[in-house]
């Protein structure tokens, strides 16, 4: 009985040793080829910065930054160490540069931020796209003369020139572009004796604020008047506006 038991155990052991090598996986390499060695990613140094660790793939690394944090020297040192450039946070957004209901633009914070970024080697190209549209027809007086109406400036009617004339100043005489409106008074008279009127009404929405501005200069210091005429025939006069011998807005 004892002898038989030993025989069974040996038989099971023999079977198991035969099964194990039968399950071994074998991969043959084709003749004339070498097995591919997987690429092991390079591990950055422990003290590597963002811009140094990614320079092979991204030569320029940037981040969004705000002026309030930029004034903290320790924060600025970290940013300079890690990136090449920055993008302004809110400093150039409409709500940051337009001051209240006056509609005036204030770039003082954006300018200070740009100067600080430049001084610290953080190249920051800035593009500002105006969000407002000039509602005045041919407001820069570039277009004209108009063949259909005979207007010197397209969209602007010569309403009265009993004591002078309207002509196009060109070249360096213009503030910007290639043309400017030039009003020449040949004799002393009332302001309404020399008038130019925009032909197309400007569509407006009740409750909205609209800003009117222009660049002007004179051969001598004087005053000028402009008017805002409503569709109900009412007129708002803005007389006595100072004109100097240099361009002013």
Please give the model's pTM, rounded to 2 decimal places: 0.47
Residue 88: domain span: 50-119
Residue 49 and residue 77 in contact, taking contact as beta carbons nearer than 8 Å: no
Q: Residue 31 domain-assigned?
A: no
In a domain, 17, yes or no: no
In a domain, 170, yes or no: yes
Q: Is the pLDDT of residue 115 over 50?
A: yes
Q: What is the pLDDT of residues 71-80, one digit of tens each?
A: 999 999 999 9
212 and 161 in one domain? Answer: yes
pLDDT given for residue 169 in this prediction: 92
Average pLDDT over residues 119-136: 72
Q: Are residues 165 and 97 in the same domain?
A: no
Of 59, 64, 128, the closest CA to residue 93 belongs to 128
- 150 occurs within a structural domain: no
The set of residues, in sequence order, having a beta carbon less than 8 Å from that of 160 and lying 6+ positions away, is 192, 193, 194, 195
203 part of a folded domain: yes
Residue ending a domain, among 70, 102, 119, is: 119
Has residue 82 been placed in a domain? yes
CB 112 within 8 A of CB 134: no
Q: For the chain, what is the domain count?
A: 2
pLDDT digits (tens, 9 = 90+) for 32-79: 556 666 555 566 666 788 888 888 888 888 888 999 899 999 999 999
Cis peptide before 51 (omega within 30 of 0): no
Strand pairing partners for 55? none
| 115/193 same-domain check | no
> Of 219, 228, 226, nearest to 247 (Cα)?
219
| Residue 174 domain-assigned (yes or no) | yes
The answer to whether position 75 is within a domain reads yes
pLDDT over 90 at 131, yes or no: no
Report the distance separating Cα 141 and Cα 153, nearest Å: 6
pLDDT surpassing 90 at residue 167: yes
CB atoms within 10 A of CB 143: 14
């Amino acid at each position: 009985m004892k002898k038989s038991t030993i025989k069974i155990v040996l038989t099971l052991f023999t079977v198991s040793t035969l099964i194990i090598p039968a399950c071994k996986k074998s991969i043959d390499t084709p003749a004339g080829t070498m097995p591919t060695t997987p690429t092991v990613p390079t591990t950055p140094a422990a003290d590597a910065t963002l811009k140094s660790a990614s320079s092979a793939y991204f030569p320029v690394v940037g981040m969004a930054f705000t002026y309030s944090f930029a004034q903290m020297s320790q924060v600025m040192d970290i940013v300079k160490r890690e990136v090449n450039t920055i993008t302004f946070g809110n400093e150039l957004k409409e709500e940051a540069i337009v001051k209240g209901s006056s509609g005036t633009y204030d770039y003082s914070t954006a300018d200070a931020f740009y100067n600080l970024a430049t001084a610290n080697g953080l190249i920051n190209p800035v593009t500002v796209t105006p969000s407002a549209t000039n509602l005045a027809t041919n407001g820069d007086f570039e277009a004209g003369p108009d063949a259909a109406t005979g207007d010197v400036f397209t969209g602007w009617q010569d309403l009265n020139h009993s004591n002078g004339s309207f002509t196009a100043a060109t070249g360096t005489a213009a503030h910007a572009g290639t043309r400017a409106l030039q009003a020449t008074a040949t004799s002393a008279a009332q302001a309404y004796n020399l008038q130019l009127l925009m032909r197309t009404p400007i569509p407006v929405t009740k409750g909205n604020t609209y800003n009117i501005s222009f660049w002007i200069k004179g051969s001598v210091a004087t005053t000028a008047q402009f008017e805002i005429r409503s569709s109900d025939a009412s007129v708002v006069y803005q007389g006595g506006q100072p004109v100097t011998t240099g361009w002013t807005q």
